[in-house]
Amino acid sequence: MRDIKLVIFDLDGTLLSSKKEILASSLVAIKRLYDNGISVGICSGRIYQMLEVYVKEIDLKGYVLATNAASIYQTELNKKIYGKGLHVDSARKIVEFCLENDIDCSLLTDDTCYFSKNSLRIERFKQYNKMAAKKNLKEIPLEHMDSFPVNIKEIEKVLIYSFDEELLDKSNKFLSTLKDINYNFSEEGLIDISCSDASKGIGVSKLMKLLDLKPDQVMVFGDYENDISMLDVVKFSVAMGNANSTTKEHANFITDTNDNDGIYKAICSIIFMEDVK
């Protein structure tokens, strides 16, 4: 067995199958990690409120790196141990640009999530709220906006959502003029915008420092380009079989897909050094 102390999973496309479910085999693998004293983390572009269902499902004993690791939570203490939000002035500029150009955008805060009136992305949040209600968890307040909201609390991030290449290119050019933000595509058609020093790689590095862990004591799983930065900072970096080619180039290991027991196979073969077919 390798001396790995922490395993961190991206969520969409990695820990979640294409049906947005955690495979039974992944749950078995995670329990085995717990049984061997290995901590587990989830690192996602989602805000923390949209991760609580999965925290409960896997009885997470470890850490949540939310909003592309701009915020880090210790689940057993139910405590936020690190956080840095998007500056209000930057968020206002982005939202006003989107509203003026009729671009689907979302403004996510630690209290309420706001959406442009033409938003299709809001449906993802409505689906989450249905899941939360079934599990007796708090639903996320959702509101439409026709201007930048007043008196908002800490801003987690802004999302731009479109499959129109011209609008995406226009958005990308606008975002490149702002200096205190970090942005990337977290899935097709979705630009994920957070504070300038927020990335999964920075967050994982901060967590390793807090826990006094070395890169060869941490395993990370990912599938998309916003996972590359965290794949680059650990020794045991694993790309899912369904990952794109760019992401795979940054991983030291490639496992099976998120629909074909990729998590289970990698944990058994890499950590426990077992022959798994």
pLDDT tens string 188-228: 899 999 998 889 999 999 999 999 999 999 999 999 999 99
3-state SS class at 219: strand
Task: Express each pLDDT in 234-262 by its tens digit.
Answer: 999 999 999 999 999 999 999 999 999 99
Low-confidence ranges of the chain (pLDDT < 50): none
Taking the model in full, what pTM does it have?
A: 0.87
Identify how many contiguous H helices and E strands the chain contains and give both numbers.
Answer: 9, 14
Domain 6-83+199-271, CATH: 3.40.50.1000
Instruction: Report the alpha-carbon distance of residue 67 to residue 200 in Å, rounded.
Output: 9
CATH 3.30.1240.10 domain residues, the chain: 88-195
Which pLDDT belongs to residue 119? 95
Instruction: Report the alpha-carbon distance of residue 127 to residue 130 in Å, rounded.
Output: 5
What is the spatial order of strands in the sheet that 181-187 belongs to?
142-145, 113-116, 105-109, 155-161, 190-195, 181-187
CATH 3.40.50.1000 domain residues, the chain: 6-83+199-271
Which pLDDT belongs to residue 186? 80
Domain spanning 88-195, CATH class: alpha beta
